[in-house]
């Protein structure tokens, strides 16, 4: 079974030329919607920042971004992209690193990562812990459980043969229920891609 770090290190080699280009409009809309909820004074944590596509777009509009990813390959790509962005602190680590202090972020983003999280309640609880009271959680997630797609079939096969890590097959309603059950009030939802659906959710820590 391939580890998440190994898988995303391989994906980092061609991510921008593949998914980055294919989902360019969805990424742009993700940023556009997110900026409705972020202020110039905000300190933001970007969980699973990847190659820094959304980081580079959000950073100019907030005070500081703490961008993390478990993949050193992704972090290397992001570091090159963000070399001239002074208010981003970038590191290879995970969400449970004790250097991330509880209640220290105004916003947390999780773009295109929640479907790869096996223990989602634990991850959502940690995100909630890291947010200040009333903090904003912004996510965009493929919902592979809504209809049969080539992407879904491919990921199902790969995840069950060990060539990629765990993949969730959620409906949009289930994903939203999971986030609400973790102590968030959903403020806005929008589907960003036709098939499979890519659901953007903005939620506030209750």
Q: For position 29, what pLDDT does the model report?
A: 98
Per-residue pLDDT at 201: 98
Q: Which bin fits 185, alpha (ψ -120 to 50), beta or left (φ > 0)?
A: beta
Angle ∠(59,111,63) on CA atoms, nearest 5? 20
Q: Is 12 exposed, middle or buried (0-12, 13-18, 19+ CB in 10 A)?
A: buried
The pLDDT, as a whole number, for residue 139 is 98
Look at residue 33 in the predicted model and tell me its pLDDT. 98
Q: Which residue has the tokens 């990424």?
A: 27
Beta-bridge mates of residue 114:
none
Smallest Cα–Cα separation from 138: which of 61, 65, 43, 202?
A: 202
Residue 19 is predicted with a pLDDT of: 87
pLDDT < 50 positions in the chain: none
Residue 184: its pLDDT value, please? Answer: 98
Q: Please tell me the predicted confidence (pLDDT) of residue 20.
A: 80
Q: Show the domains of the chain with their CATH numbers.
A: 4-205 (3.40.50.150)
């Amino acid at each position: 079974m391939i580890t998440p770090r190994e898988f995303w290190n391989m994906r980092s080699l061609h991510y921008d030329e593949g998914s980055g280009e294919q989902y360019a409009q969805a990424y742009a809309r993700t940023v556009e919607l997110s900026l409705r909820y972020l202020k110039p004074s905000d300190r933001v944590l970007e969980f699973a920042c990847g190659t820094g596509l959304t980081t580079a777009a959000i950073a100019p509009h907030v005070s500081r971004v703490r961008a993390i990813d478990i993949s050193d390959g992704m972090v290397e790509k992001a570091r090159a992209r963000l070399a001239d962005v002074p208010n981003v602190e970038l590191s290879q680590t995970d969400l449970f690193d004790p250097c991330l202090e509880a209640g220290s972020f105004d916003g947390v983003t999780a773009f295109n990562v929640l479907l790869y999280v096996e223990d989602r309640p634990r991850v959502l609880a940690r995100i909630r812990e890291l947010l200040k009271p009333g903090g904003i959680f912004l996510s965009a997630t493929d919902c592979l459980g809504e209809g049969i797609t080539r992407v879904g079939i491919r990921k199902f096969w790969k995840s069950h043969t060990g060539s990629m890590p765990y993949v969730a097959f959620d409906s949009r309603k289930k994903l939203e229920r999971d986030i609400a059950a973790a102590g968030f009030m959903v403020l806005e939802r929008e589907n960003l891609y036709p098939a499979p659906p890519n659901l953007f959710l903005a939620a506030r820590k209750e």
